[in-house]
Amino acid sequence: MKLAIRQLCLRLQQFALGVDVDIQHARTAIFGPSGAGKTSLLETIAGLRKPDSAKISFNGQLFDDRGRNYSLPVRLRRLGYVPQYDSLFPHLSVRRNLAYGSNGKRKDYTLEFHHVIDFLEIGHLLDRHVRSLSRGENQRVVIARALLSAPQLLLLDEPLTSLDAKLKNAILEQLQALHREFAIPMLFVTHDPAEAIAICEEVLLLQAGRITARGNPAELLS
Amino acid sequence: MSFSPLEWQIIRFTLAVCAFSTLLILPVGLAVAWLLDRYHWPGKLLVETVVTLPLVLPPVATGLVLLKMFGRRGPIGHFLSQHFDIDVVFTWRAVVLAAAVMSFPLLVRSARVGFQGVDQRLEQIARTLGARDLRVFFTITLPLASRGIVAGIVLAFARAVGEFGATIVVAGNIPGRTTTLSLEIFSAVQLGHDASAYRLLVVCVIIAFSAVWLSEVLMQKRSMG
């Protein structure tokens, strides 16, 4: 994969996010302290924030070119976005949340559907209301919904935050196996070195809106 | 308590006319509420003020404005009469018109509160899942705002049932044609038919109480999430 971010500038409250980077590893972590601009970077790639300037492309497909005032609509970017906040649609069942990404068509009988459901072990949750899910169940369903939307890139924004240690380890194992199982590249935002080391091949260190280092997670963060 | 055939006719007519006027203002009211909540545009304050005007203007004054606009010599009334052979004033259409105009602000205000309560991040998530704006609106925004919208519908309907001042100016009080519950209560009191007035009063109280109660329940559920 190749995610090219050129001359990205996005003014934030404390500082300006300024990033110019090529990302080629299929499992890349964006690591940094809280408030470093990690989520803003992810949201900009997803098209949820309009940068002041940037040229962003993924595998040759242009996402943003502010110079030409071009921005590919969010729905056409085919990015599976897993945010930090509760993002399941509260008025829909788990099953209908999962089907949302397949344009509302029932997808429950396809091999892909069962593959994702079995992989994330959420088959028993399908007819539950999302309000009744635990935090860990909620996170698994969000990841499954993103996978079922057939994304070309997964954007995971601290998906393990606010989980207890046991749950965190369980989902961490699933995320480790996720790329092998579905061959979908991922950008993984975290402020926990152990998560970046466990999941990713490369880490970008983001501090106050700037990438200050990049390299092998184990070498850079140990 | 039993109603005379005339009273039944008035109750049926009032409910039908108020349901129709509420249905009529629903799409426009939702569109206005959504535009007011989501966007900043030139003239927004003016539209907000005009939408709220029927709440504070004396209903009789609103009725007079409608009479001037929709009368045969008024700009809209003349157009409708000339091109579609439709008369509005002193017909059932005028009753619908008065009810619609007077209840419109309540629908818009409640629906706007409903839209304000929708977490716009969920709409963004829906877009990342490939949904177009129209699909996002109908599958995410509208259902999540539904309590505010339903509360607005209920309040608008109840306001329409209670409408008097604008109706009597623009539609008159023509028995069997434009007489509504409120107008009939007024007539009954004037003529000393107290028993009939009280029977119809009970109907009004039941409708108003149910509407406000239902609206409060819905809004409280919404605020509790």
What's the half-sphere exposure (Cβ side, CA atoms, 13 Å) at A30?
Answer: 30
Strands A61-65 and A53-58: antiparallel
Amino acid, res. B5? P
**A positions 134-193 inside 8 Å of B (CB):** 145-146, 149
Looking at the 3D structure of chain B, how many domains does it have? 1
How many whole angstroms separate alpha carbon B123 and alpha carbon B131?
A: 9
Per residue in A128-186, pLDDT (tens digit) is 999 999 988 999 999 999 999 989 999 999 988 878 888 888 888 888 888 888 889 99
Specify the residue for token string 């997808």: A107
Position B214 confidence tier, pLDDT thresholds 50, 70, 90: confident
Task: Give residue A73's domain range.
Answer: 3-221
Q: For position B183, which CATH number holds?
A: 1.10.3720.10
Q: What is the pLDDT of residues B99-151, one digit of tens each?
A: 999 999 999 999 999 999 999 999 999 999 999 999 999 999 999 999 999 99
**Cα–Cα dist B94/A37, whole Å:** 59
**pLDDT at residue B42 greater than cutoff 70:** yes
Q: Which domain holds residue B13?
A: 5-223
CB contact under 8 A, B121 and A73: no
DSSP state of A123: G
Low-confidence ranges of chain A (pLDDT < 70): 103-111
Chain A closest-CA separation from residue B209 CA (Å): 29
Task: Check residue B225 and give its pLDDT.
Answer: 45
Note the pLDDT of residue A113: 86
Residues of chain A contacting residue B124, judged by C-beta atoms under 8 Å apart: 48, 74
Radius of gyration (C-alpha) of chain B in whole angstroms: 20
Count up the domains in chain A and report the number: 1
Q: pTM of the full predicted structure?
A: 0.87
Complex prediction ipTM: 0.92
d(CA A193, CA A29): 10
Backbone φ and ψ of A28, nearest 5°: -120, 135
DSSP helix/strand/coil, A61: strand
**Best to test chain B binding among A40, A49, A74, A131 (most B CBs inside 10 Å):** A74
Q: Which residues of B touch A (CB under 8 A)?
A: 121-122, 124-132, 135, 139-140, 143-144
Contacts of A170 (CB under 8 A, 6+ apart): A136
Mean pLDDT over the full length of chain B = 93
CATH number at residue A12: 3.40.50.300
